[in-house]
Amino acid sequence: MASVSVDDVRDVINVSSTEVPDAKVLKMIKRAEVTLELETECSTQKQKSGMGRTIDKAVFEEVKTIYALKAENAEAENRVAPSVSRVLEMLLRKGSSPSEREKIGRVVTCSSPFRG
Q: Is residue 10 part of a domain?
A: yes
Task: Tell me the torsion sign for CA atoms 59, 64, 65, 67.
Answer: positive
CB atoms within 10 A of CB 8: 13
Centroid of chain to Cα 5:
21
Q: Which domain holds residue 11?
A: 6-49
The tally of domains found in the chain comes to 2
**pLDDT band for position 92 (cuts 50, 70, 90):** confident
Tell me: do 41 and 61 sit in the same domain. no
Is 112 inside a domain boundary? no
The secondary structure of 2-38 as a DSSP string is ----HHHHHHHHT--TTTS-HHHHHHHHHHHHHHHHH
pTM value is: 0.42
**Domain-located, residue 115:** no
Count of CB atoms within 10 A of residue 51's CB? 11
For residues 62 and 90, membership in a common domain is answered with yes
Report the pLDDT value the prediction gives residue 14, as an integer from 0 to 100: 86
